[in-house]
Structure 1
Amino acid sequence: MTITQLKYALAIAEHKNFTKAAEKCFVTQPTLSTQIQKLEDELDILIFDRSKKPIELTDVGRKIVYQARNIVNEADRIQDIVDQQKGFIGGEFRLGIIPTIMPTLLPMFLKNFINKYPKVKLKIEELTTEEIMSRLSDGHLDAAIAATPLESDNIKERVLYYEPFVSYIPNHHRLKDKTTIDASDLDVDEILLLEDGHCFRDGVINLCKTFKDHPEDKFHLESGSIETLIKLADEGMGMTLLPYLHTLDVSTKMEGNLRYFNEPSPAREVSLIYHKSELKMQIIDALHSVISGVVRGAIAFQNVKIISPLPK
């Protein structure tokens, strides 16, 4: 049994196809098939049910793949130790970012990070929090940026910044004459929300203390885009709440529709999250340093109240 064979098994389990797994591992399909056959012969069991389309793990195969992932992670840790000893910060790094953070945060830090750490090859994906948690657990992501706390025993969280909520109130709305607002001013029936699967939506719902009195079917409109919510608010469909960084590039016309909360300002906690195995920590440390340094100057709010993305 070799580490290479275990990596091949993990690739097949992920892609459910020998050809795709071989491409992922940069070997020929016959080479990969031969190594898996040798592994199965040595263990005297079948890891994969090849009669199924797509290929499926057998019952014992699932247990083997679970253990193989732990073994491969521990083997990768050896390279981590060597890299840290040499002071090397480089290699492939898979980063997930939730949709309500990606468009504003990524342009703020990416160029800076690439210039500072040119040997790191970032592979960035926009994913929901649920997708991120799954991929971190499966070893398909090295780290992610998401709203926290997430309260997972397998995931570690390092806070990057606290991002206040800002109200977007169009001219026709009942709150338009207020210069600042309180959470008690909000009515969840009037708020345009992101669709299910976005943790920012859950934070808004938690902010609206009256939510328990409003059944889900009263949400007459939801969208997957914050920009769409702003346009719909302008058309008289309601108001919405924005993450603070989304307000930095709004037009002068739109800026007049922004209303800040009275202190303590409700805010979300944004963190760099990663698996408890703590692989590639030198890159995680570098990301944390660059991102927190960049955002610190953009968000000047000090007195904030953190609103959890988790429904209470």
Structure 2
Amino acid sequence: MTITQLQYVLAVAEYQNFTLAAEKSFVTQPTLSMQVQKLEDELDILIFDRSKKPISITEVGKKIVAQARNIVNEAERIKDVVDQEKGFIGGDFTLGMIPTVMPTLLPMFLKTFINKYPKVNLIIKEQNTESLIQNIHDGHLDAAIAATPLEVDFITERPLYYEPFVGYVPRDHRLWNASQLEPEDLNVSDILLLQDGHCFREGVLNLCNTPKKLGEEHFRLQSGSFETLVNLANEGLGMTLLPYLNTLELDEDKKEKLKFFKEPSPAREVSIIYHKKELKIQITEAIRDTIAAVIRGAIAFNDVKIISPIGK
């Protein structure tokens, strides 16, 4: 039994196809198949049921796959231990980010990070929260940035910052003359929301204390773009709520339509999350420290109190 064989087993379990698993493992399909077969022969069991399409995992195979994931992770930890001992911060690192954070946060810290840590090959993927959690579990992401709390048993959450909600209120809206907003002012019937699946949408619904099943709608919007929501608000179709960082690059005319909440402001907690096994923790810490340093000037950390945390 070798680590390579276990890695091939994990690839087949994920892709349920020997050809695709070989492609993703950068080996030929006969090589991968032969190594998996050798492991099955050694254990005298079948890990995969090849008679089905797609390939399925046998009951004993599921236990083998779970144990193989643990063994491969622990083997990778050996290199981490050596890197940490040497003070080396480098190598491949895959970071996931939710769509409502990535466009604003990434430009703030990326250049600083790559200049400070040139030996890190940072691979960045935009994914929704559900995908981030699954990919951290499967080992496809080393860490991610998401709205928390998530309360997932295998994930460590370390808050980076608290980002206030800001109202975007057009001139013809009922709240235009309000100097400050309060959660009680909000009515979900005239708030433009992101499409289902975005955690920021869930946070707004929580803030409005509104059931997820909304009432009658004159139109149904499926957009993941805050810019689209702002443009629709300007057309008189309602107001919207924006994360604070999304308001910094608005032009002056749009900034005049921003309404801040009475303190304590509702906010979302944004954290760096990673597997509790803490692989490549030295790079995770470097990313966390870089973000904390560059964002400190944009958001007053101690002045924001979360009163409506965003759900996952």
* TM-score class, shorter: over 0.9
Q: Distance in 1 between the 2:142 and 2:63 partners?
A: 22
Aligned partner of residue 61 in structure 1, secondary structure: helix
Quote the offset at 1:97 in angstroms. Answer: 0.4
Distance 2:304 2:205 in 1: 17
TM-score w.r.t. the length of structure 1 is 0.95
Q: Deviations over 1:288-308 (max 9, x none)?
A: 000111111111363222122
Q: What's the counterpart of residue 183 of structure 1?
A: 183
Shift of 1:287: 0.4
Partner of 2:207: 207
1:217 to 215, 218, 232: 215
Q: Which residue of 2 aligns with 1:309?
A: 310
Q: Deviations over 1:84-134 (max 9, x none)?
A: 001111111111100100100011111111111111111111111111111
Distance in 1 of aligned mates of 2:112 and 2:58: 46
Kindly report which structure 2 residues correspond to 1:122-137, keeping only aligned pairs within 5 A, or say none.
Answer: 122-137=122-137
Q: How many residues align?
A: 309
State the SS of the aligned residue for 1:176. Answer: coil
Please give the alpha-carbon distance, in whole angstroms, between the structure 2 residues aligned to 1:134 and 1:218.
34
Runs of 4+ in 1 over 6 A off after TM superposition: none
SS at match of 2:151: coil
User: Which secondary structure state, in structure 1, belongs to the residue aligned with residue 36 of structure 2?
Assistant: helix
> How many angstroms apart in 1 are the aligned matches of 2:290 and 2:110?
9
Shift of 1:277: 0.7
Hey, what does 2:238 align to over in structure 1? Answer: 238
| Equivalent pair of 1:192/1:240 in contact (CA under 8 Å) | yes
The residue aligned with 1:194 is 194
Unaligned runs of 5+ residues in structure 2 are none
Identity of aligned residues (%): 65
* Pairs within 5 Å for 1:1-312: 1-209=1-209, 211-212=210-211, 215-218=213-216, 220-222=219-221, 223-300=223-300, 302-306=302-306, 307-310=308-311
Contact (CA 8 Å) 1:89, 1:119: kept in 2 or not? yes
Q: Output the CA distance in 2 between the equivalents of 1:178 and 1:221.
A: 28
Kept after mapping to 2: 8 A contact 1:90/1:121:
yes
Asked whether the 8 Å contact 2:94–2:141 carries over to 1, the reply is yes
Residue 146 of structure 1 aligns to which amino acid in structure 2?
A
Q: 1:68 to 1:215 in 2, by over 3 A?
A: closer
2:305 aligns to what SS in structure 1? strand
Q: Distance in 1 between matches of 2:282 and 2:6?
A: 25
* Aligned residues of 2:161 and 2:301 also touching (Cα < 8 A): no
CA contact (8 A) 1:144 1:274 kept: yes
Deviation of the 1:215 alpha carbon: 4.6
TM-score (norm 2): 0.95
Partner deviation per Cα, 1:58-79 (whole Å, 9 max, x = no partner): 2221111111001111111111
| Aligned-residue RMSD, C-alpha | 1.5
Q: 2:215 aligns to what SS in structure 1? A: helix
C-alpha separation in 2, matches of 1:302 and 1:178: 25
> Counterpart of 2:84 in 1: which secondary structure?
helix
Once structures 1 and 2 are overlaid, which stretch shifts more, 132-141 or 71-80? 132-141
The answer to whether the 8 A contact 2:104-2:245 is kept is yes
